[in-house]
Amino acid sequence: MADQEDLSLSRRDLMAAGAASAAIAGAPAAAQAAPADAPSLAQVRFKVNGQKRALTLDTRTTLLDALREHLKLTGTKKGCDHGQCGACTVIVDGRRINSCLTLAVMHEGDEVTTIEGLGTPDKLHPLQAAFVKHDGYQCGYCTPGQICSAKAVLDEIKAGVPSHVTADLTDDPRLTETELRERMSGNICRCGAYSNIVEAIADVAGGLAKGDRA
């Protein structure tokens, strides 16, 4: 058990060190650039997983890179970096977004929740436990994004937000497999664990509505 903990610590340290050395390697290039191309810096203060954070960042820094490279919260993953895969999904002020398609400096005062804020290895979030139970992944790379997205999906259905497959727009949406699949379509899993992901989410929500599989 102790060995396992050491192993996981050293892996995290290694990743953090890798990010730091990448930042150092990038520095000389920026220094040599013409003044017109010099990075513009800006400050941002926000809460991440309940903790106040203040950063001075190159304005180009996406929220995703701020989380991973500056705050060392590497649970949020960079997949396509273009809003097509959903691996970078985080929850900002209660809503899921692609953290790769938003600038960190645009989040002054916001509350950001990442996978690290949902659960811990000792105290899994119910969705994390359900993904383990239902084998809702293979390689696991898309999983943090899937789980952040799934949490928001359940909140959206509760709040009555309709989807493309909601049959009657004037009714509240039901928790069906079709609804879950449509609402999760912004999260790609290249291992193809989709059916188990749906089962995991449905389990946490207390099961699917009757008469589903339309």
Contacts with other proteins by CB under 8 A lie at: 37-40, 42, 58-60, 62, 81-83, 86, 89, 95-98, 101-103, 105-106, 149, 152-153, 156, 160-164, 166, 169-170, 181-183, 185-187
CB closer to other proteins, 2 vs 108:
108
To the nearest whole angstrom, how small is the minimum distance from the Cβ of residue 116 to other proteins?
A: 19
To the nearest whole angstrom, how small is the minimum distance from the Cβ of residue 97 to other proteins?
A: 5
CB closer to other proteins, 123 vs 164:
164
195/209 Cα distance (integer angstroms): 17
CB closer to other proteins, 103 vs 124:
103
CB closer to other proteins, 124 vs 161:
161
95/115 Cα distance (integer angstroms): 14
To the nearest whole angstrom, how small is the minimum distance from the Cβ of residue 101 to other proteins?
A: 5
Distances, alpha carbon 26 to alpha carbons 12, 23, 32, 68, 150, in Å: 21, 5, 11, 16, 36
To the nearest whole angstrom, how small is the minimum distance from the Cβ of residue 177 to other proteins?
A: 13
Nearest to 64 by CA among 56, 55, 74, 52: 74
Asked if residues 79 and 188 have their Cβ atoms less than 8 Å apart, the reply is: yes
42/59 Cα distance (integer angstroms): 6
CB closer to other proteins, 45 vs 60:
60
To the nearest whole angstrom, how small is the minimum distance from the Cβ of residue 156 to other proteins?
A: 7
To the nearest whole angstrom, how small is the minimum distance from the Cβ of residue 90 to other proteins?
A: 9
Distances, alpha carbon 13 to alpha carbons 34, 55, 144, 149, 187, in Å: 35, 21, 20, 27, 28
Give me the count of residues in the chain: 214
Q: Give the three-class secondary structure for 17.
A: helix
Q: Per the structure block, which two tokens stand in for 170?
A: 């004037």
Q: Which region holds residue 204: left if phi is over 0, alpha if psi is between -120 and 50, else beta?
A: alpha
CB closer to other proteins, 24 vs 34:
34
